[in-house]
Structure 1
Amino acid sequence: MMSDMYQHTLDQSRKQLSIDIMASSVFSCDKEKHKKLGQSTTNIIPTDHSSANQEYDDPARPSHLVNSSTIHSNAASVEALLNRLEALDLDEGSSSCKSIAEPTPSFRLRSQIIKSSRLAFDLRDTILNGPYNDEEYDYLYTQTEIPIPKGVKELTKEENELVDNILRKNQNGMVSQFKTAVVEFKDIYKLYPETWLNDEIINFYMVLLMDRANNNNHSTNVDLPSIHCFNTFFCSSLRDQGYDKVRRWTKKVDIFNKHLLLIPINKSYHWTLGVVDMKRKNVTIYDSLNGKHHGPTIKLIMNYLELEHMDKKKTPFDASGWKGIMASDIPQQGNSSDCGVFTCTFAERLTRNQGFDFSQDDMTSIRRRMVLDIVQKKLSI
């Protein structure tokens, strides 16, 4: 999975950084320690090596102090490595990532790298000031870690009790209303495990995604992409009744001024997610069953963009450089009922620049969090 690749790259870079720092210091000939830190470590970020994938072949380190010129030479090398870490291009517009269907999980990784870089400088200074033992090294090494959120966050005890109460059988009436979205108990019960989601649940969730993006500047320092979410009837209406049917659906929004357009799509009782990325110029379909038959849907969306631009901007849409993508190497469902949950979770991760850190095993937890979010009318992650 693409997010795993980025996480692996950053973790390996951190290990490489620590090993380079250690090269300028005293180190006892502890082979197990060396094996723990150095074995199979890859130099992800090139220094003076010919290949970015060259093995870091480190012999047993001497137990005596190296001379000062070697220390400061290696220190300079560490500083250069830190500069490269800080300069890593993790922005959405990175040229190295333009052909990747899943966006880079930046999630403020640049600021995290800078923070870890500063800690690494402290580690280097401590090393240069004199000998230390393995325990001190273990502590210092952990301080250079680049924190990356992993996996699906579990609900608290209080949150679980609230969700259990909402999901009690035989309740009627409204559960939650937010802006134009309404969910009743008959809808919320669709979030029971292995139950197919309906339009009401997905549309409510899309409204929550837009609300988070719209309020982003007022509530967090994390830079989220600007988005617009179409409802679940958009694609079928466009396909079956043509552009005139949906022309007025965007009279209050300029979709061409957004970063991402999200389109939940239902076809043959299967939910998928269409995403238009205005910056990268692509239309991507995320299918948790890994279907390869989405060419007509991509063409339908591209045609819509052309008609919408002519209608709202009164000029032809420049389709040069645009491409259609059927996302691969993404989480896949293991049953016939969780496609809607995958669709919503793809959308949630994409709209906060987070990698796809979930799997089929997380579906029950994600469903329960969706109940919580709908009841509270706010995304809790």
Structure 2
Amino acid sequence: MSLLTERSEKRAGELPAVYAVNTFFMPRLLQAGYSGVKRWTRKVDLFSKDIIPVPVHCGNVHWCMAIINLPKKTIHYYDSMGRPNQPVLDALVHYLQAESLDKRHKPLNITGFVVEHAQNIPRQGNSSDCGVFSCMFAEYITRNVPITFSQAEMPYFRKKMALEIAGGELWQ
């Protein structure tokens, strides 16, 4: 996730501005509410970003991705197994509202925001590729390209991700 943020900074103006939160963000938000994570963005103006990927670990066995797109006024939940997660979506809406009040000292108008489980997305055909699917949802969206991958590409994406992490930089 940090490589997505770095890439957007290196290619500012070319790609959407991204601030990816880490894997500990969502569990802490769900457990402690805004007060548990408010300091995590003290050096970041979240509302100056376009896309905020939020990794979600469900039941310690399955990875999903929530993506906040501020210019499009959307919060989508991407689950490669097709399961909705309304508590995560609700928590992210409340988080954005609290973040706006705390950091900008004004309420966030969520009128017109679309908050939903993403439809018509690729599905995994096994029980081991959820993490790769989640990362690829974030990868494609932060590059501002349509989600066109499938289960068949997961072995390639696994190798590509390992090489990118080892090299400290995303390809493309």
Q: TM-score, normalised by structure 2?
A: 0.96
Q: Per-residue deviation at 1:291?
A: 0.9
| Structure 1 SS opposite 2:148 | coil
Tell me how far apart the structure 1 counterparts of residues 57 and 104 of structure 2 sit (CA, whole Å). Answer: 29
Which of 317, 330, 345 is the matching residue for 2:108?
Answer: 317
Tell me how far apart the structure 2 counterparts of residues 210 and 275 of structure 1 sit (CA, whole Å). Answer: 13
Which residue pairs with 1:214 in the alignment?
Answer: 9
Tell me how far apart the structure 1 counterparts of residues 88 and 117 of structure 2 sit (CA, whole Å). Answer: 11
Root-mean-square deviation (CA), in Å? 1.1
Deviations 1:246-277 (A, max 9, x none): 01000111111111111000111211110111
Pairs within 5 Å for 1:254-333? 254-268=45-59, 269-292=61-84, 294-333=85-124
Letter in 2 for 1:246: V
Tell me how far apart the structure 2 counterparts of residues 301 and 344 of structure 1 sit (CA, whole Å). Answer: 19
Letter in 2 for 1:271: W
Unpaired stretches in structure 2, ≥5 consecutive residues = none
Letter in 2 for 1:296: P
Pairs within 5 Å for 1:168-207? 206-207=1-2
Letter in 2 for 1:216: R
| Structure 2 SS opposite 1:284 | strand
Which residue pairs with 2:145 in the alignment?
Answer: 354
Letter in 1 for 2:101: M
Runs of 4+ that moved beyond 3 A: none
Identity %: 39
Letter in 2 for 1:304: Y
Tell me how far apart the structure 1 counterparts of residues 25 and 165 of structure 2 sit (CA, whole Å). Answer: 22
| Structure 1 SS opposite 2:19 | strand
Is 1:368 the counterpart of 2:159? The answer is yes
Tell me how far apart the structure 2 counterparts of residues 329 and 323 of structure 1 sit (CA, whole Å). Answer: 16
Pairs within 5 Å for 1:56-135? none
| Structure 1 SS opposite 2:116 | strand
Tell me how far apart the structure 2 counterparts of residues 373 and 367 of structure 1 sit (CA, whole Å). Answer: 10
Tell me how far apart the structure 1 counterparts of residues 144 and 101 of structure 2 sit (CA, whole Å). Answer: 30
| Structure with the higher fraction of residues in strand conformation | 2
Select the structure of larger CA radius of gyration. Answer: 1
Tell me how far apart the structure 2 counterparts of residues 362 and 319 of structure 1 sit (CA, whole Å). Answer: 36
Deviations 1:217-269 (A, max 9, x none): 4xxxx821001100011011010112111010001111111111110001112
Pairs within 5 Å for 1:37-48? none
Higher relative contact order (CA 8 A, sep 6+): 2
Letter in 1 for 2:52: L
Q: Per-residue deviation at 1:352?
A: 0.7
| Structure 1 SS opposite 2:56 | strand
Which residue pairs with 1:18 in the alignment?
Answer: none
Tell me how far apart the structure 2 counterparts of residues 233 and 315 of structure 1 sit (CA, whole Å). Answer: 27
Q: TM-score, normalised by structure 1?
A: 0.44
Q: Per-residue deviation at 1:380?
A: 1.3
| Structure 2 SS opposite 1:228 | coil
Unpaired stretches in structure 1, ≥5 consecutive residues = 1-205
Which residue pairs with 1:236 in the alignment?
Answer: 27
Q: Per-residue deviation at 1:357?
A: 2.3
Pairs within 5 Å for 1:330-341? 330-341=121-132
Letter in 1 for 2:10: N
| Structure 2 SS opposite 1:343 | helix
Letter in 2 for 1:286: Y
| Structure 1 SS opposite 2:127 | coil
Tell me how far apart the structure 1 counterparts of residues 30 and 135 of structure 2 sit (CA, whole Å). Answer: 22
